[in-house]
Structure 1
Amino acid sequence: MASVSVSSETVTQRARARRRARDWAEIQERMLVPLYEAVYQRLEVGPATSVLGLGCRSGLALLLAAGRGAEVVGLEPEAELRSLARDRSLRVLGDVYRELAPGGGAPPAHSLVTAFEHLSCTADPQALVRDAARLTVPGGWVALATWGPPERCQSAGVLRVARRLADPLLRGGYAPFALSGPGAVERLVALAGLRLGGGGRVCCPFAYPDLDSAVRGLLSTGVFDAAVEYSGERQVGKEVTEALHPHLRPDGSVRMENVFRYTLAERVPR
């Protein structure tokens, strides 16, 4: 009986993961297009650019870079998202070191390494920035994105649900605005041996046709996974819906104004 129960739970988890991946690709990923385009325009991404996207999810940012003529490859640990990216004819790997350098050597470096979504969610931001630096050619760039100040992000109230409904012993995990304060990303850059090269703030509204789409889109981000595991998907969905009500418009659509920040850092040639 125990093995049947475990098997059933695994099937349910996989089905949920597939649904979340589809919701991300169909609803949520387009919300950050202004951020992607701002970085690509600032760095003049084009045919001479080799882009590596860390935590590229279903690959929209890579598609936009490829549309500018860049050579692109992605790294995405979640199999369902990786599968969707590959369906778009993108080269997306699960382990950049093992799959790009199977012989144990150093993987090839790129002229632009991006972390558009992953930096705010990873357990070790410093390790991610160091990896990005190692995977960048001398003279190349690392682009790091974070949420802007919470007072400039109307989604902040909804994100608090993720922290409140997670296991209270694990609440030190997800902190979306931990790197939003002055100097936070800059310290990561300096410790990774990179040189600051500017940055900017970009308005990225989260806009949905209705409440159901808003809830599905937000749950697809992975931000609420710990809360779902601890409090259950129904309770998390209910409280996310309640938190969205202040942003509900007369026509039934939902819109939240948000600001994202990007930081550019150069790998200095030796």
Structure 2
Amino acid sequence: MGYQTLDQALSFKNNLAPLKRSILITDTLLAQGNFLVHHFIVNQIKADKHVVLVGLSQNFNHYLNIGRKLGVNLTVSSQKGYFSFIDGLTSLTINSSTIASTSLLPTAMITPLSITNCTKETLLNFYNIIKKIITTHHASANSNVLLIFDDLSVLIYSGFKVCDVLEFWGACRVLIEKYEGTLISLIHSDEVTGSSSTDNIDFDDEIFIKSLIYKSEYLLSVRGLESGFSRDVSGEITIARGPKNFEKWFRPITLHYKILDNNVQFFAKGFSQGVF
């Protein structure tokens, strides 16, 4: 599976993200939360469930290499119908008439500079691409799907309006609920948005982050240590319920974590033995 100590902390049934729920991962530039994305991908695929990964900041080879370290071959998983990769920034530049060709696995690096038409219509075409993949898979396999955005902040600092991105995200959330799936979004909580007015940068960024927090059931917040660099601890993660979550079984917790070559260990603050 993914990271065993994280599974213990989350206490999700069968170590899978709960259905018809939204999980929001927030991180910072100094403590990035991409390792959590890989955790959910691995658990989903090893349970023979479908993953639709929208790569907005990394190319396919990045996920392929890390997946291999965690015991999953994403190329093989794609051939078996358990994994679909959408090159997000390439998909944003194509017309909806070319949707059928977007399931190919890209090898080129992705750059946010490739987006030149940051309009609501562009996001609508992008939504139709995602919808096509999810509905096609559901019709053939009828299994729960995990939709992951890594990372959604790229749309903001590429020039899309906050209100349009939130509307796009909301449409994806409704789509996922319809097909009994789960939505995971990663965003940078200290990222500067693409607003052209310096007076509105912080305000727009705050609206974007708080809106996603308000609409999510689970919050995973990754940040660096207040004390600064540590050889034994990579950072700190807080696992909490979102405002829409009233599940009494879920226990909020703050843990330290250590990133290793092919694993991530989570442990109680003040300890470094992988226990909590």
Taking structure 2 as the reference length, what is the TM-score of the superposition?
A: 0.39
Structure of greater relative contact order (alpha carbons < 8 Å, 6+ residues apart): 2
The structure with the larger Rg is 1
> Comparing both structures, which one devotes a greater share of its residues to helix?
1
